[in-house]
């Protein structure tokens, strides 16, 4: 939709959306926790009330998907049903129950001249979310932004446009009913790519862009955006099995990290085995993973112990398979493992399996990733599992926020300085 509009039409329309978002964000920033939570509750009710309408619009997307030859996996991600609509409403209520991250005094100091300097958490302002496929992101992102006092502009994929607009209709309707500026949540009605291109230059209105989806989507956003972006490109998660560890536990952790849900960013993609235990451990893990239909791609050393593995190439070390495939390498020592991870990994989630405290300490300090694990599956990198309640995404960046991002990560701070006539001399 939108393909009959000119570039200037898009600019005009999007600037208006941006202005409305800024105005809404200023009102949101000073809204009480109760008002925000009441609005989230009203949104949950609106979604339940309008479920037939939502499912009908979702059906249109599904029919278009079938007509366009969409894969079964994609159709499944796109599909809503009563249970999924109920889960979205429950998600809104869960976010309502979280602590308000805004207005928290982070520090408070009194200077020798009597100035009181308070550092207080505030919303970021206007956030744009660009995402694909799953309509539940529309609701999750709106909920987290509202909770953290940010206005949000949502741009979902063309494949879910009818579902997203129907959900947006319920959300804004709830805002109106709750007496809240409806522009706190806006869904772009256009699927034309030019709309995104225009939006990504709107740094005068939008403070932050969070893209969620495949690496190509995220790279395109990065190239075009003049607005700061928080993101992860991919999750190339590594597991290092140290020379001394509980090997039975290692097998369980590797199986879980690789097989429990191979299509997600915190699934393991590469296994590094310390050479001192390779002769014993390599055949063991190979047997366990082959029994679970995992394709193994190994270096020569690994293949000498596990000949069922096919040869790995240099490209395998940086590959996010998102499937039942695992690259395996035998490394000389801990330093080699750390060097491998820092070179080929994606700074997402990396694991050491070890019972040597000095190895653990070194790995935890030197692996430069958002989340480093010892003796636990990488699959826990997730807002719910970390106890944040919900997440708007996972960051592998080095600024603002790393790892799972919850409501708190959608805030920044301001300094409030209280004086009684202090001047600088």
Chain contacts with a second copy (rule: CB under 8 A): 26, 29-30, 109, 111, 115, 117, 124-125, 207-208, 222, 226, 228, 230, 246, 249, 252-253, 255-256, 260, 342, 364-366, 368-377, 379-381, 385-387, 397-400, 402-403, 412-425
Beta carbon nearer to a second copy, 31 or 272: 31
List, in sequence order, every residue forming a beta bridge with 387; answer none if it has no partner.
Answer: none
Least distance from C-beta 399 to a second copy, angstroms? 5
Using the structure block, give the residue that is written with the tokens 């451990």.
281
> Which of 54, 372 has the CB closer to a second copy?
372
For a second copy, the closer of residues 90 and 368 by Cβ is 368
| DSSP bridge partners of 339 | none
Shortest distance in whole angstroms from residue 68 CB to a second copy: 34
In the complex, minimum distance from the CB of residue 256 to a second copy, in angstroms, rounded to a whole number? 4
Contact predicate 257/268, CB 8 Å: yes
SS3 56: helix
Shortest Å distance, C-beta 300 to a second copy: 27
Spatial CA neighbour of 108 closest among 120, 124, 126, 100: 120
Smaller CB separation from a second copy, 26 or 243: 26
* Nearest-10 crossing angle of helices 33-49, 51-67: 70
Report the nearest approach of a second copy to the CB of residue 407 (Å): 15
Determine the Cα–Cα distance for residues 167 and 176; give it in Å rounded to an integer.
14
In angstroms, what is the minimal distance from the CB of 59 to a second copy? 33
Residue placing its CB nearer to a second copy in the complex, 52 or 203: 203
Say if CB 148 and CB 102 are below 8 A apart.
yes
Pairing between β-strand 393-395 and β-strand 403-405 as defined by DSSP bridges? antiparallel
Segment (H or E) for 234: none
CB of 222 to a second copy, least distance (A): 7
67 CB-contact burial (10 Å; exposed 0-12 / middle 13-18 / buried 19+): exposed
Least gap, CB of 207 to a second copy (angstroms): 4
Q: Which of 180, 150, 186, 173 is nearest to 44 (CA)?
A: 173
What's the closest the beta carbon of residue 31 comes to a second copy, in angstroms? 11
Q: Which two tokens stand for residue 146?
A: 């509202």
Which residue spans within 184-323 are E strands per DSSP? 185-187, 208-212, 237-241, 268-274, 295-298, 310-311
Judged on CB neighbours under 10 Å (0-12, 13-18, 19+), 201 is middle
Residue whose C-alpha is closest to residue 166's, from 46, 42, 16: 46
- Cα–Cα distance for residue pair 378/373, rounded to 1 Å: 7
Query: Is 298 or 383 the residue whose CB approaches a second copy more closely?
Result: 383
60 versus 261: smaller Cβ distance to a second copy: 261
Residue with tokens 């100035």: 115
Q: Which is nearer to a second copy, 170 or 331 (CB)?
A: 331
The three-state (H, E, C) secondary structure of 304-351, written as one string: HHCCCCEECCHHHHHCCCCCCEEEEEEECCHHHHHHHHHHHCCCCEEE
Task: Output 60 or 398, the one with its CB closest to a second copy.
Answer: 398
CB of 97 to a second copy, least distance (A): 17
Closest separation in Å from C-beta 215 to a second copy: 15
Taking the least distance from each CB to a second copy, the nearer of 69 and 421 is 421
Of 356, 363, 358, 348, nearest in space to 272 by CA: 363
Nearer to a second copy, 310 or 376 (CB): 376
Cβ-based neighbours of 27, under 8 Å, separated by 6 or more: 180, 181, 184
């Amino acid at each position: 939709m939108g393909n009959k509009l000119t570039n200037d039409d898009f600019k005009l329309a999007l600037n208006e959306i941006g202005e409305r978002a800024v105005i809404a964000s200023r009102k949101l920033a000073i809204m009480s926790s109760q008002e925000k939570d009441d609005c989230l509750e009203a949104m949950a009710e609106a979604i339940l009330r309008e479920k037939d309408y939502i499912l009908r619009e979702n059906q249109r997307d599904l029919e278009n998907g079938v007509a366009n030859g969409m894969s079964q996996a994609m159709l499944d991600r796109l599909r809503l049903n009563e249970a999924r609509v109920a889960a979205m409403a429950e998600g809104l209520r869960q976010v309502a129950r979280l602590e308000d991250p805004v207005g928290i005094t982070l520090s408070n100091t009194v200077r020798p001249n009597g100035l009181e300097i308070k550092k207080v958490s505030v919303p970021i302002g206007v956030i744009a979310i660009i995402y694909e496929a799953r309509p539940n992101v529309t609701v999750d992102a709106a909920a987290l932004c509202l909770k953290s006092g940010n206005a949000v502009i949502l741009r979902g994929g063309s494949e879910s446009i009818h579902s997203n607009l129907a959900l947006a209709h319920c959300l804004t309707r709830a805002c109106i009913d709750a007496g809240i500026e409806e522009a706190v949540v806006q869904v772009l009605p256009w699927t034309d790519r030019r709309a995104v291109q225009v939006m990504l230059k709107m740094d005068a209105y939008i403070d932050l862009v969070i893209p969620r989806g495949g690496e190509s989507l995220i790279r395109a956003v990065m190239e075009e955006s003049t607005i700061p972006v928080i993101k992860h490109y991919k999750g190339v998660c590594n597991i290092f099995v140290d020379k001394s560890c509980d090997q039975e536990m290692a097998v369980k952790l590797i199986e879980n990290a690789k097989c429990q849900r191979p299509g997600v960013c915190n699934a393991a993609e590469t296994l590094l085995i310390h050479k001192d235990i390779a002769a014993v451990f390599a055949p063991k893990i190979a047997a366990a993973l082959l029994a679970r239909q995992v394709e193994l791609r190994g270096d020569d050393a690994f293949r000498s112990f596990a000949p069922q593995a096919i040869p790995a190439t240099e490209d395998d070390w940086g590959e996010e398979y998102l499937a039942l495939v695992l690259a395996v390498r035998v490394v000389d020592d801990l330093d080699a493992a750390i060097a491998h991870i820092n070179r080929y990994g994606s700074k997402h989630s990396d694991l050491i399996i070890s019972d040597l405290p000095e190895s653990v300490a070194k790995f935890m300090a030197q692996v430069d990733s958002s989340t480093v694990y010892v003796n636990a599956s990488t699959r826990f990198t997730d807002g719910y599992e970390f106890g944040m309640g919900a997440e708007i995404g996972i960051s592998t960046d080095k600024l603002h926020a790393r790892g799972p991002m919850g409501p708190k990560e959608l805030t920044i701070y301001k300094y409030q300085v209280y004086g009684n006539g202090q001047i600088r001399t």
